[in-house]
Structure 1
Amino acid sequence: MLEFRLLGPVRGWRDGEELQLGPPQQRTVLAMLLLSDGKPQTPEQIADALWGVDAPSSAVATVRTYIHRLRRVFGDDQHLLVHDNSGYRLDLPSTATDVGKFQELVDHAAVALDAGRSDDAVRDLRAAISLCSGAPLAALPGEYVEAERARLRQRRLTVLEDLFRAELALGRHAEIADQLQVLAAGEPLRESMHELLVMALCRSGRQAEAMLAYDQIRRQLREELGVDPGARLRALYDRMLHGEAEPQVRPALPVVSPAQLPADLPVFAGRSSALADAHHRLPNGDGALDRTTVTVIQGMAGVGKTAFALHWAHEVASRFPDGQLYVNLRGYDPVTVDPNDAVRDFLQALGVAAAQVPTEPAARLGLFRSLLAERRCLLLLDNARESAQVLPLLPGRSRSLVIVTSRGRLDGVVAATGARPITLDLLSRDDAVDLLSQRLGAERIAAEPVATDAIVDRCARLPLALSIVCTRILAQSSEFPLADIVASLFGPRFSLDAFAASDPSVDIRAVLRSSYTSLSDGAAQIFRLLALHPGPTVGVHAAASLAAVPVRTAAALLREVADVHLVTETAPGRYGWHDLLRAYATEQLETTTEGEAAFQRLADHYLLTADCAARKVSAQNDGPAPCQPAEGAVSVELADQEQAVLWYITERPATMRVLELMAAHGLHEHAWRFAWALRQFQDRQQHWYDLTDAHAIALRSATEAGNPIGMAYAHRGLSRAECRLSRLKSARKHMDEALALFEQAGATAALAYALRQYTWVEELDHAPERALEHATRARDLFRDLAWGPGVGVATMTMARYYSMLGRDEEAVPLVYEALMLLPPGDNAELVGAWEVLGEAYYRLGRYEDAIGAHENAVKVFAALRADADQVSVLLRISTCLLAMERRDEAREVLRRAAAIQRTLCPAAMGPTIRVEDWAQLLTVEQ
């Protein structure tokens, strides 16, 4: 059994034996998991708690190391440290920690007080206080720990005050007066503690000391804060002056049961998963809550938070017989609702006469919480902007449900209450169609599926947008075809005009504006500049380049934008949005002059990063340097080949559109260089039509720029694409153009690399002799330049054609000569050497050596994500195994190949004999 202490130095025991919990940061991870009440914590959240904005790049990996070590510490109980898709959590009862035991004792005391058993309450409260053995989370570092330490300390003080109130109720004022003096001295500005001290001294017959104690807190408040004591303390002083210090009699509770919830919407579609999640947070059946439960509904403007909250609230309202309270906090209106005003309105709804509502905010809030302490109410706090609007409205000890809706992240509410937010996203396509069917009629929707899809797409599946369009459609004759109405609403160019309305509460521009204007200047700028990015998602480095700010600043600004749900973090460090948000950002950008310079920086970002990625994949100096970047442009730091390939896979949806925009903006030097940097990725990933289109753009841009070198590289890229697409005549023409342009420009290294590429054209034309001539000439040019890597790649290419000509004995030493010259990390070229060596060894009957070489090639192709090439090499390995009569191993290799080939697109170049045919052949021959 695991037990932990947090109300002091962090310690742990397993079956009575103390555990060695490791260094401070590891114990901080443990404390965070223990204090999260079973709520999963992601590695990123834990890293943020440990380091904040100063988190190193290895932070997440370090967190996982700490988790691994804690599991070892737990021994046979390590299964209690659970990991799933939501993060890490500890599957322990609350009483496994002293914090949980503390709360359990406090809850028991509250029940005893309600039942009039003050002695039992005092006993439980003193037992709770005895668990506090020093500063909570002692000796642990970090802002998270400081915040939790402060929260636990304040909780202890609150319980101490409850204890002393209970002692006063039992007439034990003399026994506690001295204790209160010590505590009050340590809390010079805590009025509630001083109020108890003054009352205890007065009731103990120590009036002079009571007067001095009041005078001392009055002077401290005046000197430190410039304020007078609150109404309760002043009233106590007045009663002392009149010779009595008895507490005011608690007023009888009103019997009014408010029913303030607005009506549920007649049409509600989708959200079944979110509703199930919301219901799951309440006890099964009609069971009552045992404490205040808070649920935060968050999401972007127009996503249907209020509709969802109202729908759920009406479904569960019968479980809260003491009433339902509702307030629209207008968090994103020009004037928001003050929580003190909301408390006043709630008190009056609960039956408190206006004249009896306290004027002091603290007293007003105290009365509100006192009234709810005896009730089961449902509170819907709608449209909150920040936690400060919500926290004063939360009941204290109660059995109520509080539903909060907000466009932003209410981290303060979540931290203070343990609430688990429900984030509403766009509707699914099926749910969006269901909403249209309910509003416009199922038959009409079913009759025009194309028009229906157009509405769903133009509305981006945003509930508010769908509702606005439905209203516009219903205002027209039902005889009009839906397709005609859609065409008239949206027109040929997408804009937000179709969603305009005279009522700002249902006008998309007005709704989005209220979120946009809540942003800081920097966050608003980065939001509108994102309109220049053509991809479905954008990375932090690209955003930093757009805004010309450091990456860390861009990350903070994007988090601010995401906090109000104007973008969504789709993956760590990547953000996406829907078309309505893009259209709104575009409109804001069009009112500024920052677009051209920002796109220049974005183009620099992509060119710099693509060039870096290309050089990680191949160490050959086969291409031009990037253009001089504009100030403020940053690239992604790619550590190795794997990161380079992953960068391309992630960014591929945007790369072609970025290239087109480079050309459209007249950045022709960027365009042809960017196309060339992408060539290896497009080739290895079998994106050959992208390869063709990219270099067609590159050729036009290089021609427009009057740059013959750029034209030559574009011809080389087109030749590679044409070879892949089996258009040999065109491939040869492009290579001839490239050779001529490089020769005219005197670009010897580029000419040598082009000759080496020309060998592939000759190979496909079944002319290995001519290919060998090109390779030999390329090697000679590289030797004249004293460029070792170039000599190595040309020598390896020569070995390939020696082997194809049946001269394997000569090919093998050439391969080893090439391997000595090729840089160790140049996997794109080394893989070719392994392939040549494997084929040569096979023809020489050295099958084991051939398998070893081919396995090296498979590893490299796997790292390059070159799946079609993997299949080809695996077939060669199976051939070697068959030659040695190792049929079972051959069959396993073929199964590997078949699994990979089934993932390839139909256009991918594969082996001439299908893998399935080889597998069948093996089965038959066996």
Structure 2
Amino acid sequence: MRFRILGPLEISGAGRTLTVTAARQRVVLSTLLLDANCVVSAAQLADALWDHEPPTTARGQVQICVSALRKTLAGLGLPDRIITRPPGYLIAVSDGDLDLHYFDRLVLAGQQALAESRLDDAAEALSGALALWRGAALAGVESQALRVAATRLDERRLAVTEDWLDVELQRGRHQHVVGELRELVATYPLRERLHAQHMRALSGAGRPAEALAAYRSARRTFLDELGLEPGGELRRLERAILTDGRADEPAEAPPPPAAVPRLLPADPAELTGRDGPLALIRATLATSGAAPVPVVAISGPVGVGKSTLAVRAAHALAPAYPDGQLYLNLLGADGRPVPPEAALGRFLRALGLPGATVPAGLDERAELYRDRIAERRVLVVLDDVTHERQVLPLLPGTGGAGVLVTSRRRLAGLTGARSVHLDPLGVEDSVRLLASALGWPRLAADPAGSAVLAGLCDGLPLALRIAAARLAARPHWTVAQLAGRLRHPSRRLDELSFGGLDVRARLATSYAALAPAARLLFRSLGALPDADLPTPPAPWLPGAREADVEDALEELVDAQLVEVGVGPTRYRLSGLVRLYAAERLAGEPTTHAPAESA
């Protein structure tokens, strides 16, 4: 491992291990490593460096720290690890480079093995994860913001320790863990789970009198410190030992661990031009356990990359949500919205509830769902939402969870949600996205054609990825050749379909969700000679009332099919949307405005 934060901060490279001595450099490097492979803004680094208001020279001092760290890493044979990427910096960490990432993988492997009753494998994985710790997390790094993060990591270490002890007790290794449990109970006297494990270990080792003495000691501690009697598990263990001389292991063994859902799609290979929105999402959702539950709603037109951004953000946030990630696309394969009761049924099963025990009604499912994830650190990702009605029953009731929603509409009805709107990419970012799939040499051979191709894709990542996939599949094509095929309006949407990705199909789902009057207006816009729509809108549908036309227009705006700008021409259609409107116009009648508007 190149970087270690599970203990004092250390860097290894070129056959040696280095401890960073400069205090500010320790803070900056630790902050970057806690969010490895993600952009950390300069403002976040300044907040970590100064517990109070950062000075006016904060940005410059951050740059000085970063420059010094780059020299240090280069001296260890680790150049180009800290990358400048607006609005801040990113540290690139490969697989196995960071002890925290390795810890997370081992813990997940242990949890999966335990869920499958492979106790030996679970014990090996969890003990391996704990062996990575060399002391308190980020020991010696002085920063109020980092102390909060370090405390959270230390709490995770203790929870994994308790999980490992449960596995050892299930393996019958009672005597083996008695000594360690005695030390842990002395260090953490108010953790009831440790006291219960201590009693079980002593009882299983044939020492019932000591187990009862341990119970009395725990009871005194709780009464003295909290004014409370011990919880139900400790009292049950005491009764079992008094009755049978030992804890009844089959009856008193802890329940199987709650299912940890990992439902996220694969992490996207490339995310271009979205560093700012990604940083905002991570900052809003990074602290799980907040109350009220943090919610981020990503909106934008068809193909703009909402789902890609949400999945990338969810993967980056996974360490903050160790109890799992729930994911569901709420637009069904048939183009119809997934009902919330169906979504709740899938989530409840993913959370470990047998299918036969899932209640039938929406209200009962919502209540059980909120109970199942109460106080659990779970990230809920709801993709391609059609309306707030789909989301509201899926919102957790208490802190611990976070929610990330994507929709083509701005979901203003989600009270308290942080809104993130995505616009199409500019030409430079569009070309970068093409290069991520094709490589720069192929685009550099025709920079003008690359810019034209990006423009013909309207800056939509979906269209750009389709174009890149087509070029990758046809290495004998030039960039200009594909751009030439896209120049023909009658063929452009046909060309933007490849390998299951289809711009026309995505637009069709938005069109199908419109009311009849809005569909009629959308088709009529396909007859207009250019992208800018003339105002006032009343003449767009001859014979229709102006108020009906305006209502239909606002529905098209809500569906992100019509763009709203400033100036004398307020409304416009992007190129691909306009082509689709023309197709619908050619294939459907537009002569029944009064009937469809009614």
How high is the TM-score relative to the length of structure 2? 0.53
Query: C-alpha separation between the residues in 2 aligned to 1:143 and 1:388?
Result: 30
Q: Is the 1:384–1:390 contact (alpha carbons within 8 Å) kept by the matching residues of 2?
A: no
Report which structure shows greater RCO (CA 8 Å, sep ≥6). 2
Match of 1:811 in 2: none
Query: C-alpha separation between the residues in 2 aligned to 1:203 and 1:324?
Result: 44
Opposite residue 208 of structure 2, the aligned amino acid is Q
For residues 785-814 of structure 1, what are the alpha-carbon distances to aligned partners after superposition, in whole Å with 9 as ceiling and x for unaligned? xxxxxxxxxxxxxxxxxxxxxxxxxxxxxx
Instruction: Map 1:340-739 to 2 at 5 A.
Output: 350-352=355-357, 365=372, 382=391, 389=398, 391=400, 408=416, 423-424=420-421, 438=514, 439-441=518-520, 442-446=522-526, 480-481=543-544, 483=546, 485=548
Q: CA deviation at 1:104?
A: 3.1
Cα 1:365/1:30, change in 2 over 3 Å: same
Q: 1:325 aligns with which of 328, 336, 344?
A: 344
Q: Which structure: larger Rg?
A: 1
Query: C-alpha separation between the residues in 1 aligned to 2:350 and 2:13?
Result: 52
Match of 1:82 in 2: 83
For residues 42-84 of structure 1, what are the alpha-carbon distances to aligned partners after superposition, in whole Å with 9 as ceiling and x for unaligned? 1112112222542111112211111111111111522121222
What secondary structure sits across from 1:18 in the alignment? strand
Query: C-alpha separation between the residues in 2 aligned to 1:24 and 1:110?
Result: 37
Q: Is the 2:182–2:198 contact (alpha carbons within 8 Å) kept by the matching residues of 1?
A: yes
Q: Is the 2:42–2:87 contact (alpha carbons within 8 Å) kept by the matching residues of 1?
A: no
Q: Is the 1:195–1:233 contact (alpha carbons within 8 Å) kept by the matching residues of 2?
A: yes
For residues 443-468 of structure 1, what are the alpha-carbon distances to aligned partners after superposition, in whole Å with 9 as ceiling and x for unaligned? 33346799966699xxxxxxxxxxxx
For residues 895-920 of structure 1, what are the alpha-carbon distances to aligned partners after superposition, in whole Å with 9 as ceiling and x for unaligned? xxxxxxxxxxxxxxxxxxxxxxxxxx
Cα 1:201/1:388, change in 2 over 3 Å: farther
For residues 630-660 of structure 1, what are the alpha-carbon distances to aligned partners after superposition, in whole Å with 9 as ceiling and x for unaligned? xxxxxxxxxxxxxxxxxxxxxxxxxxxxxxx
Segments of structure 2 that go 5 or more residues without pairing to the other structure are 262-299, 316-321, 384-389, 407-413, 426-457, 461-506, 559-565, 571-598
What secondary structure sits across from 1:78 in the alignment? coil
Q: Is the 1:8–1:135 contact (alpha carbons within 8 Å) kept by the matching residues of 2?
A: yes
What secondary structure sits across from 1:54 in the alignment? coil
What secondary structure sits across from 2:154 in the alignment? helix
For residues 855-903 of structure 1, what are the alpha-carbon distances to aligned partners after superposition, in whole Å with 9 as ceiling and x for unaligned? xxxxxxxxxxxxxxxxxxxxxxxxxxxxxxxxxxxxxxxxxxxxxxxxx
Q: Does 1:13 align with 2:12?
A: yes
Query: C-alpha separation between the residues in 2 aligned to 1:68 and 1:404?
Result: 38
Query: C-alpha separation between the residues in 1 aligned to 2:30 and 2:358?
Result: 47
Match of 1:3 in 2: 2
Match of 2:37 in 1: 38
Query: C-alpha separation between the residues in 2 aligned to 1:312 and 1:53?
Result: 49
Match of 1:203 in 2: 204
Cα 1:6/1:246, change in 2 over 3 Å: same
Match of 2:454 in 1: none
Instruction: Map 1:298-337 to 2 at 5 A.
Output: 310-311=330-331, 324-325=343-344
Instruction: Map 1:269-284 to 2 at 5 A.
Output: 270=302, 272-278=304-310
Query: C-alpha separation between the residues in 2 aligned to 1:246 and 1:409?
Result: 47
Q: CA deviation at 1:404?
A: 5.3
Segments of structure 1 that go 5 or more residues without pairing to the other structure are 258-267, 284-290, 297-307, 328-341, 395-401, 411-421, 457-472, 491-497, 500-505, 507-535, 537-577, 579-926
What secondary structure sits across from 1:188 in the alignment? coil
- RMSD, aligned α-carbons: 5.3
Match of 1:246 in 2: 249
Q: CA deviation at 1:407?
A: 5.7
Q: Is the 1:37–1:94 contact (alpha carbons within 8 Å) kept by the matching residues of 2?
A: no
Opposite residue 525 of structure 2, the aligned amino acid is I
Query: C-alpha separation between the residues in 2 aligned to 1:5 and 1:488?
Result: 58
Q: Is the 1:43–1:60 contact (alpha carbons within 8 Å) kept by the matching residues of 2?
A: yes
Instruction: Map 1:780-791 to 2 at 5 A.
Output: none
What secondary structure sits across from 1:89 in the alignment? strand
What secondary structure sits across from 1:423 in the alignment? strand
Q: Is the 1:11–1:18 contact (alpha carbons within 8 Å) kept by the matching residues of 2?
A: yes
Query: C-alpha separation between the residues in 2 aligned to 1:279 and 1:188?
Result: 40
Q: CA deviation at 1:27?
A: 0.8
Query: C-alpha separation between the residues in 2 aligned to 1:197 and 1:47?
Result: 44
Cα 1:316/1:488, change in 2 over 3 Å: closer
Cα 1:280/1:47, change in 2 over 3 Å: closer
Cα 1:482/1:39, change in 2 over 3 Å: farther
Q: CA deviation at 1:171?
A: 1.0
Instruction: Map 1:51-62 to 2 at 5 A.
Output: 51-62=50-61
Q: CA deviation at 1:99?
A: 2.0
Query: C-alpha separation between the residues in 2 aligned to 1:143 and 1:455?
Result: 57
Instruction: Map 1:867-906 to 2 at 5 A.
Output: none
Q: CA deviation at 1:41?
A: 0.6
Q: CA deviation at 1:311?
A: 3.2
Q: CA deviation at 1:209?
A: 2.5
- Greater helix content: 1
Query: C-alpha separation between the residues in 2 aligned to 1:345 and 1:112?
Result: 17
Cα 1:52/1:118, change in 2 over 3 Å: same
What secondary structure sits across from 1:74 in the alignment? helix
What secondary structure sits across from 1:45 in the alignment? helix
Q: CA deviation at 1:158?
A: 1.2
Q: CA deviation at 1:118?
A: 2.5
Q: Is the 2:10–2:17 contact (alpha carbons within 8 Å) kept by the matching residues of 1?
A: yes
Query: C-alpha separation between the residues in 2 aligned to 1:251 and 1:20?
Result: 43
Query: C-alpha separation between the residues in 2 aligned to 1:192 and 1:236?
Result: 12
Opposite residue 519 of structure 2, the aligned amino acid is L
Q: Is the 1:221–1:229 contact (alpha carbons within 8 Å) kept by the matching residues of 2?
A: yes
Match of 2:128 in 1: 127
Opposite residue 155 of structure 2, the aligned amino acid is Q
Match of 1:265 in 2: none
Q: CA deviation at 1:348?
A: 6.7
Opposite residue 39 of structure 1, the aligned amino acid is C
What secondary structure sits across from 2:140 in the alignment? coil
For residues 543-563 of structure 1, what are the alpha-carbon distances to aligned partners after superposition, in whole Å with 9 as ceiling and x for unaligned? xxxxxxxxxxxxxxxxxxxxx
- Length, aligned pairs only: 395
Opposite residue 189 of structure 2, the aligned amino acid is P
Q: Is the 1:106–1:125 contact (alpha carbons within 8 Å) kept by the matching residues of 2?
A: yes
